C-alpha cells in the first residue's frame, strides 16, 4: 500500500506549553517499500507511526493510504481498516497472559481469511519449542518474538514497527529482521520501521531522518540482506 502525508501536524499539550510532535510533515512511501525512520528521542518518530496508522488523530494535514483518507475516517472505519490491512509491532509485547504462545498468535490469525501457518511462523521466529508456554514463562526477548509472530500471521499489507528488535540479542534480532524482509519482498508488504539502531537502515529502500517534529532528510538506499547486517546499538 502507498502512503502520502501532506502538511501533517500533531501537537500535544495546551496553551504556551504546547509541543508540536509533528510540524508540517510531507512524505510519500511507495507500495512495497521497506522504510526505516531514524531520529533522536523526541524527534516525532513514534507520533509519525501513530498518525499514519490511525492510532492517533492528526491536528492538520492529510494522510492517504491507497484510496483510504485516514484523516477523514471515523473510529469504526479506522478499526476495520487496521484489522484488514495493518500489522503492528511495538516495544510493549501486549500479550494475553492467560493464553499460551500459540493461542496468542492464533488471535491474529483468526482476524483474517488467509493467515500464515501458525506453526511454521512460530518456527521461523524461533518459538516453536515454546508454543504451549505462557508469557510469564518467557524472557522479554521471547515475548517480543511472539508479538512479532502475532503481527505477521495476518499477512498484513502494511507493517508498522516501533523498535521491533529493541529487546532482542543480535542473533535473534537479525532473524526477526530477516522475516520482515522476506515478508516485504515476497508479498510486497509495505514496512515502516522506526529504530534507534542506525545500522538497521542498511535494510531499507528508503531512509527517513527526523528531528524536532520534522523530516530533515529522505534518502534512497540499496538494501542488504538482514543476515549481513553489522549490528550496533
Q: Indicate the pLDDT class of residue 233, thresholds 50, 70 and 90.
A: low
What lies within 8 Å, CB to CB, of 16 at 6+ separation is none
- Please give the pLDDT value at position 110: 92
Residue 107's nearest CA partner among 120, 94, 92, 125 is 94
Predicted local confidence at residue 107, as pLDDT = 93
Tens digits of residue pLDDT in 169-198: 888 888 889 888 988 988 889 999 999 889
- Model pLDDT for residues 30-60, shown as the tens digit of each residue: 999 999 999 988 899 999 999 998 899 999 9
Q: Is the pLDDT of residue 218 over 70?
A: yes
pLDDT of residue 183: 84
Residue 168: Cβ within 10 Å count = 21
92-144: per-residue pLDDT in tens? Answer: 888 999 999 999 999 999 988 889 999 999 998 889 999 999 999 998 888 98
pLDDT in tens, 144-169: 889 989 998 998 999 999 988 887 78
Question: How would you classify the pairing of strands 190-194 and 34-38?
Answer: parallel
Asked whether the beta carbons of 188 and 182 are under 8 A apart, the reply is no
Predicted confidence at residue 14, as pLDDT, reads 74
Q: What dotted CATH number matches 34-57+76-226?
A: 3.40.50.300
Q: What is the pLDDT of residues 77-97, one digit of tens each?
A: 999 999 889 999 887 888 999
Query: Do the beta carbons of residue 36 and residue 198 sit within 8 Å?
Result: no
Annotated domain spans of the chain: 34-57+76-226
213 has pLDDT over 60:
yes
Question: pTM, whole model, 2 decimals?
Answer: 0.88
Amino acid at each position: 500500500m502507498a502512503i502520502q502525508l501532506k502538511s501533517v501536524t500533531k501537537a500535544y499539550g495546551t496553551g504556551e506549553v504546547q509541543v508540536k510532535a509533528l510540524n508540517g510533515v510531507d512524505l510519500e512511501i511507495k507500495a512495497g517499500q521497506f522504510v526505516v525512520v531514524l531520529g533522536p528521542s523526541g524527534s516525532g518518530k513514534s507520533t509519525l507511526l501513530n498518525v499514519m496508522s490511525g492510532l492517533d488523530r492528526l491536528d492538520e494535514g492529510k494522510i492517504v493510504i491507497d484510496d483510504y483518507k485516514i484523516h477523514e475516517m471515523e473510529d469504526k472505519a479506522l478499526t476495520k481498516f487496521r484489522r484488514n490491512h495493518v500489522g503492528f509491532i511495538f516495544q510493549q509485547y501486549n500479550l494475553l497472559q492467560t493464553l499460551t504462545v500459540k493461542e496468542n498468535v492464533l488471535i491474529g490469525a483468526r482476524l483474517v481469511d488467509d493467515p500464515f501457518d501458525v506453526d511454521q511462523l512460530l518456527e521461523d521466529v524461533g518459538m516453536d519449542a515454546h508454543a504451549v508456554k505462557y508469557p510469564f514463562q518467557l524472557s522479554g526477548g521471547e515475548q517480543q518474538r511472539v508479538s512479532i509472530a502475532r503481527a505477521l500471521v495476518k499477512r498484513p499489507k502494511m507493517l508498522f514497527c516501533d523498535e521491533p528488535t529493541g529487546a532482542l540479542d543480535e542473533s535473534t534480532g537479525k532473524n526477526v529482521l530477516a522475516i520482515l524482509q522476506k515478508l516485504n519482498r515476497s508479498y510486497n508488504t509495505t514496512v515502516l520501521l522506526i529504530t534507534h539502531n542506525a545500522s538497521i537502515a542498511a535494510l531499507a529502500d528508503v531512509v527517513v531522518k527526523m528531528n524536532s517534529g520534522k523530516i530533515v532528510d529522505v534518502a534512497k538506499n540499496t538494501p542488504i540482506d538482514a543476515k549481513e547486517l553489522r549490528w550496533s546499538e
